[in-house]
């Protein structure tokens, strides 16, 4: 994968280099704002994507983008900007090739997100439910802002597509609490879960009032696969440390035994 | 009364005025000529003419009277001039409404004094009306010279027995009045050249004064009886009067709409100042947090810097908005709490008890309350301490609550110390028409409740 990075400020290029230097399989070339040179380079090399600063002294990043698209229509664009520019301010022509915006100062997570978009990796949430429950985007673990919101998500996933009502969730996550207090904690967990999933761009839950339902399309879950194929790394532990998880063990154990019998035979 | 119906009454009043004046002018064009020929021959014609004039007068003044009551901000000042003028015209010998007693009798004397007093009253009420509406250089015009002169005139009047002296006193009062009014007019002309109503008002004052002069001359025996000339003169005065009222009404309408516009601009400006107040203190606190983060270790510094810049971006992109969706405000709060927690050893436990999100709040308003709780409640030092944001629907309204179980504070100190809080309350008041209630018990915590009407929430969402 080959990318070019254009920014008139040497500091900004430094920051970009810092973030990208450990990434593998990426060829990168940095430019300050020499339009002619950039165009020549793009014309003679197969460039997958261009990271462009918007406000530069000689040229404007958006105008530069238009030129680059003319030279190489397949090019993908990411704008790096300190301003709060949004896609709405781009011409439709440029917008159709724009993956998004990196607002300075950006975190490495955001940059990695765009790199995976350039590679056209399918954006899926990988869920590991055996042993301890965890979610991943690529190799990166998703961090939840509260343990209960994580547990709620685990519960919803173990419902395997069935709708999870508020009463069900409360009876399993806060079995001993006072009813009003549990509702408050439930709403808090829902809001936090919603925030986390929104931030990582995984829109897989329909947030009904008093009920949650899951769209399984964007999720790869080892538990679901195990239920269908009987293959997976189940070693007698499922969503460890969650009280309600014991209910699922019987079914999982029976699948494992059936699998063991099959291989024995 | 609503703005729309007020405007409608104004328009209706102008229309009525115009109609009556048109009818009057038509009569004025036609009648005096016939009246003139009739009048040469018989008193009957003159009586009929006077009767018609009287009826029209009545219509005009009743209309003015009723509509002015509903329109003007000061009913007293607006209603008095037509009232006075009506009575004045009714007893004026020109109008032939009352049969005049023979010259020199007691009845005639009484009538004369009544006419004179009413004249003074009419002029004074007219002046007070114009002075109330007009303020050249923003100052109210003083009426005291006219009052003194009027009192002097009335006093000398009752003490003089000779009709010539009486008329002299009156004429000098008229001259004084004219001079004083001219000086006001000159001042206002110098201040504001575009003041048509002032010219009209002087026209009325002079015409009424002229009418009075005719009356005085009649009483003192210089002229005898009414004739078409004096009647037409009254008509002319009437027209002037109606026109002034029309122009006043039109101008009042213009002033009202300009005032509304000013009000809106004012509020917008106030909002700018209010939101502006929030930022600087926050930014410096935040920079301090970043600095302390870097002191501990560079990664922590990086993290707080990233959080801060995300937060600042949110602020700047929503700075132009006055109200933002509640969900966005919650995101801002979340960024803020994450940022603060990144630097604290005891982090804040914040509970999002959110059941409703489809409404809007003034930008950074809820955040101000949360910020305050973070700074003063000390919930991070208490075991089981929390800050809770709740939103739920209660009988067609949305109840938004920011509560904590921290140390609490004395609510009577809010006005003096907490700019942020009073500021946020003001914005809730201006933008959503609701007043947050703050209750705090020392040692038990603070609760801020904001009740937002559903329709105001919908309105703001749709706009």
Burial class of A59 by CB neighbour count within 10 A (0 to 12, 13 to 18, 19+): middle
Confidence of residue B352 (pLDDT cuts 50, 70, 90): very high
Q: A107 and B353 in contact by Cβ < 8 A?
A: no
Q: How far is B427 from chain A (nearest CA, A)?
A: 25
Which B positions 374-413 lie with beta carbon below 8 A of chain A? Answer: 388, 390
Q: What percent of chain B has pLDDT over 70?
A: 46
Strands lying side by side in the sheet with B397-404: B350-354, B387-394, B397-404, B445-453, B437-441
* Least confident range of A49-53, B271-275, B392-396: B271-275
Q: B354 and A187 in contact by Cβ < 8 A?
A: yes
Q: How confident is the model at residue A131, as a pLDDT?
A: 86
Q: How far is A62 from chain B (nearest CA, A)?
A: 20
User: From its phi and psi, is residue B452 left (phi > 0), alpha (psi between -120 and 50) or beta?
Assistant: beta
Q: What is the pLDDT of residues A187-244, one digit of tens each?
A: 999 999 999 998 888 888 988 888 899 888 888 899 998 888 888 888 888 888 888 8
> Per CATH, which fold does B347-462 belong to?
Heat Shock Protein 90 (3.30.565)
* DSSP states of B171-234: HHHHHHHHHHHHHHHHHHHHH-S--HHHHHHHHHHHHHHHHHHHHHHHHTTSS-S--HHHHHHH
Query: Do the beta carbons of residue A206 and residue A163 sit within 8 Å?
Result: no
Best-predicted range by mean pLDDT among A46-60, A115-129, B182-196, B293-307? A46-60
The residue among A68, A93, A118 that closes a domain is A118
Q: What is the pLDDT of residues B298-349, one digit of tens each?
A: 888 888 888 888 777 776 766 667 788 898 889 888 888 887 887 667 788 8
Looking at the structure, do residues A98 and A178 belong to the same domain, yes or no?
no
Confidence of residue B450 (pLDDT cuts 50, 70, 90): very high
Burial class of A84 by CB neighbour count within 10 A (0 to 12, 13 to 18, 19+): middle
* DSSP states of B278-315: HHHHHHHHHHHHHHHHHHH-HHHHHHHHHHHHHHHHHH
Q: How confident is the model at residue B279, as a pLDDT?
A: 59
Higher pLDDT, A211 or B245: A211
- Angle CA A134–A135–A140, to nearest 5: 110
Mean pLDDT, range B84-96, rounded to an integer:
66
Q: How confident is the model at residue B37, as a pLDDT?
A: 40
Two tokens, residue B97: 């409404």
Tell me how far the alpha carbon of residue B44 is from its chain's centroid. Answer: 51
CA–CA separation, B303 vs B311, rounded Å? Answer: 12
Q: What percent of chain A has pLDDT over 90?
A: 23
Is residue B389 over pLDDT 90?
A: yes
- Residues of chain A contacting residue B351, judged by C-beta atoms under 8 Å apart: 184-185, 188
Which residues make Cβ contacts (< 8 Å) with residue B426, sequence separation at least 6? B274
Q: A191 and B330 in contact by Cβ < 8 A?
A: yes
Q: Of A84, A107, A184, which has the smallest distance from its Cβ to B351's Cβ?
A: A184
Q: How far is B354 from chain A (nearest CA, A)?
A: 6
Mean pLDDT, range B165-172, rounded to an integer:
71
- How distant, in Å, are the alpha carbons of B152, B275, B361, B428 from that of B281? 66, 12, 22, 21
- Best residue in B313, B318, B324, B353 for a mutation probing chain A (most A CBs within 10 Å): B353
Two tokens, residue B393: 């629907």
**Taking CB atoms and an 8 Å cut-off, how many pairs form between chains A and B?**
35
The residue among A118, A134, A154 that closes a domain is A118
Residue A131 is part of a domain; what is its CATH number?
1.10.10.10
Higher pLDDT, B159 or A37: A37
Looking at the structure, do residues A184 and A78 belong to the same domain, yes or no?
no
Q: A187 and B355 in contact by Cβ < 8 A?
A: yes
Query: How do beta strands A205-208 and A140-141 pair?
Result: unpaired
- Residues of chain B contacting residue A190, judged by C-beta atoms under 8 Å apart: 354
* Least confident range of A49-53, A55-59, A220-224, B14-18: B14-18
- How distant, in Å, are the alpha carbons of A113, A260, B276 from that of A265? 46, 9, 77
Tell me how far the alpha carbon of residue B274 is from its chain's centroid. Answer: 24
Adjacent-strand bridge partners of A142: none
Two tokens, residue B390: 């709740």
CA–CA separation, B248 vs B200, rounded Å? Answer: 10
Q: How far is A187 from chain B (nearest CA, A)?
A: 5
Looking at the structure, do residues A212 and A256 belong to the same domain, yes or no?
yes
Q: How many other β-carbons are positioned within 10 Å of the β-carbon of residue A57?
A: 9
Query: Do the beta carbons of residue B124 and residue B83 sit within 8 Å?
Result: no
Q: How far is A40 from chain B (nearest CA, A)?
A: 35
Integer-rounded Cα Rg, in Å, for chain B is 36
Q: Provide the domain count of chain A.
A: 2
The CB-side HSE value for A114 (13 A sphere, CA atoms) comes to 24
Is residue B355 over pLDDT 60?
A: yes
The residue among A70, A100, A118 that closes a domain is A118
Mean pLDDT, range A132-142, rounded to an integer:
86
* DSSP states of B33-72: HHHHHHHHH-HHHHHHHHHHHHHHHHHHHHHHHHHHHHH-
Average pLDDT taken over every residue of chain A: 87
Q: How confident is the model at residue B39, as a pLDDT?
A: 41
Domain ranges of chain B: 3-255, 347-462
Q: How confident is the model at residue B14, as a pLDDT?
A: 55
Q: A84 and B317 in contact by Cβ < 8 A?
A: yes
Query: Positive or negative, the Cα torsion across A202, A203, A209, A211?
Result: negative
Q: How far is B409 from chain A (nearest CA, A)?
A: 25
Adjacent-strand bridge partners of A135: A127
Looking at the structure, do residues A204 and A136 belong to the same domain, yes or no?
yes
Q: How confident is the model at residue A207, as a pLDDT?
A: 87
Mean pLDDT, range A133-157, rounded to an integer:
89
Q: B354 and A195 in contact by Cβ < 8 A?
A: no
Q: What is the pLDDT of residues B51-68, one digit of tens each?
A: 666 666 666 666 666 655
Is residue B141 over pLDDT 50?
A: yes
Confidence of residue A3 (pLDDT cuts 50, 70, 90): very high
Helix H or strand E segment including B397: strand B397-404
Q: How confident is the model at residue B430, as a pLDDT?
A: 78
Q: How confident is the model at residue B43, as a pLDDT?
A: 58
Q: How far is B355 from chain A (nearest CA, A)?
A: 7
Q: Of A107, A188, A191, which has the smallest distance from its Cβ to B306's Cβ?
A: A107
For B390, the closest chain A residue by CA position comes to: A184
- Residues of chain B contacting residue A104, judged by C-beta atoms under 8 Å apart: 309
Q: What is the pLDDT of residues B15-52, one digit of tens each?
A: 665 565 556 555 544 554 443 343 444 455 556 666 66
Q: A187 and B352 in contact by Cβ < 8 A?
A: yes
Q: How confident is the model at residue B231, as a pLDDT?
A: 56
* Least confident range of A14-28, A182-196, B363-377, B409-423: B409-423
Residue A12 is part of a domain; what is its CATH number?
3.40.50.2300
Q: How confident is the model at residue B331, as a pLDDT?
A: 86
Two tokens, residue B303: 């993290």
Adjacent-strand bridge partners of A187: none
Which residues make Cβ contacts (< 8 Å) with residue B329, sequence separation at least 6? B361, B363, B364, B365, B366, B367
Range of the domain at A241: 125-264
CA–CA separation, A151 vs A133, rounded Å? Answer: 8
Interface residues from chain A to B (CB-CB < 8 Å): 84, 103-107, 145, 184-185, 187-188, 190-192, 195, 209
Q: How confident is the model at residue B196, as a pLDDT?
A: 47
Which B positions 326-355 lie with beta carbon below 8 A of chain A? Answer: 330-331, 334, 338, 351-355
């Amino acid at each position: 994968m080959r990318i070019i990075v254009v920014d008139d400020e040497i500091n900004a290029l430094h920051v970009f280099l810092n973030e990208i230097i450990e990434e593998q399989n990426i060829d990168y070339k940095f430019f300050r704002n020499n339009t002619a040179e950039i165009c020549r380079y793009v014309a003679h090399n197969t460039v997958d994507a261009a990271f462009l600063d918007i406000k530069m002294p000689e040229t404007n990043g958006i105008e530069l983008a238009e030129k680059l698209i003319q030279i190489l229509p397949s090019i993908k664009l990411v704008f790096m900007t300190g301003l709060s520019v949004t896609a709405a301010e781009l011409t439709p022509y440029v917008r159709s090739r724009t993956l998004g915006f990196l607002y300075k100062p950006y975190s490495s997570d955001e940059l990695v997100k765009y790199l995976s978009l350039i590679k056209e990796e399918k954006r899926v949430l990988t869920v590991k439910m055996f042993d301890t429950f965890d979610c991943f985007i690529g190799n990166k673990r998703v961090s939840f802002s509260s343990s209960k919101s994580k547990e709620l998500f685990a519960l919803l996933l173990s419902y395997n597509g069935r709708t999870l009502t508020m009463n069900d969730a409360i009876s399993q996550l806060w079995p001993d609490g006072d009813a009003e207090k549990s509702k408050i904690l439930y709403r808090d967990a829902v809001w936090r879960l919603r925030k986390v999933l929104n931030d990582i761009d995984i829109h897989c839950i329909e947030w009904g009032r008093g009920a949650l339902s899951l769209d399984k399309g964007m999720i790869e879950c080892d538990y679901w696969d195990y239920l269908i194929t009987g293959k997976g790394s189940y070693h007698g532990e499922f969503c460890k440390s969650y009280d309600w998880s014991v209910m699922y063990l019987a079914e999982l154990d029976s699948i494992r035994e059936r699998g063991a019998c099959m291989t024995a035979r | 009364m609503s703005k729309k119906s007020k405007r409608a009454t104004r328009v209706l009043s102008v229309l009525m005025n115009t109609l009556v004046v048109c009818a009057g002018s038509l009569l004025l064009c036609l009648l005096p000529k016939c009246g003139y020929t009739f009048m040469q021959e018989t008193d009957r014609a003159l009586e009929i003419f006077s009767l018609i004039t009287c009826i029209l007068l009545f219509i005009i003044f009743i209309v003015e009277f009723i509509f002015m009551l509903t329109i003007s901000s000061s009913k007293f000042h607006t209603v008095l001039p037509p009232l006075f003028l009506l009575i004045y015209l009714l007893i004026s010998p020109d109008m032939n409404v009352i049969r005049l007693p023979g010259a020199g009798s007691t009845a005639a004397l009484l009538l004369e004094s009544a006419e004179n007093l009413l004249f003074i009253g009419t002029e004074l009420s007219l002046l007070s009306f114009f002075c109330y509406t007009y303020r050249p250089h923003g100052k109210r015009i003083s009426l005291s010279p006219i009052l003194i002169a009027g009192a002097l005139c009335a006093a000398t009047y009752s003490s003089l027995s000779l009709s010539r002296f009486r008329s002299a006193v009156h004429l000098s009062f008229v001259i004084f009045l004219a001079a004083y009014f001219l000086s006001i007019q000159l001042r206002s002309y110098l201040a504001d050249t575009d003041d048509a109503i002032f010219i009209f008002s002087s026209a009325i004052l002079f015409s009424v004064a002229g009418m009075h002069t005719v009356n005085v001359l009649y009483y003192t025996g210089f002229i005898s009886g009414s004739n078409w000339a004096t009647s037409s003169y009254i008509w002319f005065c009437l027209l002037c009067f109606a026109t002034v009222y029309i122009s006043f009404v039109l101008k009042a309408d213009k002033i009202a709409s300009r005032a509304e516009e000013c009000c809106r601009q004012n509020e917008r400006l106030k909002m700018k100042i209010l939101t502006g107040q929030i930022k600087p203190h926050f930014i410096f606190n935040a920079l301090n947090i970043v600095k302390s983060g870097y002191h501990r270790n560079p990664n922590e510094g990086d993290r707080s810097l990233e959080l801060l810049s995300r937060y600042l971006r949110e602020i700047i992109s929503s700075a132009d908005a006055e109200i933002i969706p509640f969900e966005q405000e919650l995101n801002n709060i979340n960024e803020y709490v994450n940022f603060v927690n990144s630097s604290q050893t005891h982090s804040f436990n914040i509970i999002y008890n959110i059941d409703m999100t489809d409404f809007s709040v003034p930008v950074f308003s809820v955040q101000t309350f949360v910020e305050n709780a973070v700074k003063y409640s000390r919930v991070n030092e208490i075991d089981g301490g929390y800050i809770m944001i709740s939103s739920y629907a209660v009988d067609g309204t949305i109840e938004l609550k920011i509560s904590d179980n921290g140390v609490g504070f004395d609510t009577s100190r809010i006005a003096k110390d907490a700019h942020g809080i009073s500021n946020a309350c003001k914005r809730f008041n201006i933008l959503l028409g609701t007043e947050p209630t703050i209750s705090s018990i020392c040692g038990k915590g603070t609760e801020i409740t904001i009740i937002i009407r559903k329709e105001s929430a919908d309105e703001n969402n749709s706009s």
